[in-house]
Structure 1
Amino acid sequence: MSTNQPAAETPRPDEHGADHGTQVASMFDGIAGRYDLMNLVMTWGQEPRFVRRTVQRAELPDAPVVLDLATGTGDIAFEVLRQHYGATITGADFAPEMMEVGKRRPGGEQVDWVEADAMDLPFADGTFDAVTHGYLLRNVADIPTTLAEQFRVLKPGGRMVALETSPAPDNLIKPFSTAYIKYVVPQISKLITRDPEAYEYLSATSRGFKTPAQIQDLLEEAGFEDVGHETHLFGTLAIHWATKPR
């Protein structure tokens, strides 16, 4: 995307609208070139640590076959390759410009990049040892359908692991963490990206997203077992994991 072109107005996705996925994909395509840097800033430089921990929680077998949904520029996909020699990794996303950035990264040719809708995956039942994703669930119109698709494409005994934002828990830190996400992040984004409105949307979805306990309930309702989570950044980020029964 040329930096000489004027920034397009960011669509405001309607969570319940039929074109939700198209609007969100367009928004992410518009910030693809600066997405990784902004994530690093938003997490106070800790994003790589959270990505490493997400892959560790997948408890992958030798030479695993892994699907990384909402792969974006491939952070989790590349971490799978770093931690597991011989891994076969498919990175799927509905924002093609994000994946174009990933393809140009070192090792991009080792990832099978697929444009796909997380609510209607183009993969056969029982294909993958693990499904990973980062910041996917807050951006889909139907979380139960999304989790059902992940359950379907996992092999029996396969793991689902997700890195997600969480609303600030009710404690002494909440006023400060909420203010940071609501006011500081959009201002920082103006220094990094030409589309700060996109981060106002991401900030709003972070504050209004489900709690880790609610995500755990949804995973159990989808049929997963051994469901759990751990929180980071004063409770504003969570890593979720679950297993498909054998």
Structure 2
Amino acid sequence: MTGILPSHEDKRTYVRQMFGRIAPYYDVMNRIMTFGLDQIWRKKVVNLLHPVNYKQYLDLGAGTGDLAREIRSTTPQATIIAADLTMEMMKYGKDHHKSTGIQWVVADAQALPFSSDIFDGIVSGYLIRNVPDIDATLSEQRRVLKDQAMMICLDTTPPGYSIFYPFIMIYLKWIIPLVGKLVSGDAHAYRYLPESTQKHVTANSLAEQMRQTGYHSVGFEKFQFGTMAVHWGKK
């Protein structure tokens, strides 16, 4: 597979434009690619967050707002902010899903437009792999968290070698781009997904970056044959 990942300097613009193009197809492609399991994984993230009514939570890299809506379903009296770099993704989520009670903000995860120490928890789904600077993104989330509040992120992770490895590679390199082209007409975007997964930091490395950034009680869980991980840590 020809390398398509942009340079560090161009990644922010590339990612914003790419997700803007595929916004109408993003939700259905997530369901197809994960066989519907992404909805279960998001519930797992919110269960780990354990949100409480009348507290304030941030869904960062919210896309169409799946995690924000999951928090809303469990804590209808919480304040929920969904922030994303791509306006088209958030607009699609607002227009095509029941998203009442959610505040939408265009924001760069590396330079958040929020005061320090204001959130009781932060969640993200498929954010970390797409940012140019992981350390800056982790630092910004820690800055806006209250003391002892938790950050939880769900993302793909490079699969280690196992008996399933050849089949995972076939699925990532060939099946996902083909399905992406058939559904969205944008094979390029769905070649980016497997390549960015393979070149993403490992689950162990991300946990160490979180510790180095100042999080404590850091942990993670891998699943789906080692291709997905949930990480968590506290300020």
Q: Shorter-chain TM-score: what band?
A: over 0.9
What residue in structure 1 maps to residue 87 of structure 2? 96
Stretches (4+) displaced over 6 A: none
Pick aligned residue for 1:137 from 119, 128, 135:
128
Q: Distance in 2 between matches of 1:15 and 1:156?
A: 35
Q: Distance in 2 between matches of 1:13 and 1:52?
A: 30
Tell me the CA shift for residue 138 of structure 1.
0.8
SS in 2 for 1:210: coil
SS in 1 for 2:19: helix
Q: Distance in 1 between matches of 2:76 and 2:131?
A: 32
Tell me the CA shift for residue 15 of structure 1.
3.4
TM-score, normalised relative to structure 2: 0.95
Q: Is the 8 A contact 2:215 2:234 kept in 1?
A: yes
User: Superposition RMSD on alpha carbons, in Å?
Assistant: 1.2
- Give the counterpart letter for 2:100 in structure 1: E
Gaps of 5+ in 1: 1-11
Q: Is the 8 A contact 1:178 1:207 kept in 2?
A: no
Q: Is the 8 A contact 1:58 1:241 kept in 2?
A: no
What residue in structure 1 maps to residue 175 of structure 2? 184
Deviation digits for residues 196-226 of structure 1 (CA, Å, limit 9, x no counterpart): 1101011110121111101100100110011
Q: Distance in 2 between matches of 1:13 and 1:104?
A: 31
Q: Is the 8 A contact 1:29 1:97 kept in 2?
A: yes
1:16 aligns with 2:8: yes
What residue in structure 2 maps to residue 242 of structure 1? 233
TM-score, normalised relative to structure 1: 0.91
1:78 aligns with 2:63: no
- Counterparts of residues 114-193 of structure 1 (less than 5 Å): 114-193=105-184
What residue in structure 1 maps to residue 209 of structure 2? 218
Q: Distance in 2 between matches of 1:22 and 1:30?
A: 12
SS in 1 for 2:96: coil
Q: How many residues align?
A: 232
Q: Distance in 1 between matches of 2:83 and 2:108?
A: 8
Q: Is the 8 A contact 1:168 1:178 kept in 2?
A: no
Q: Distance in 2 between matches of 1:33 and 1:216?
A: 33
- Give the counterpart letter for 2:203 in structure 1: P
Gaps of 5+ in 2: none
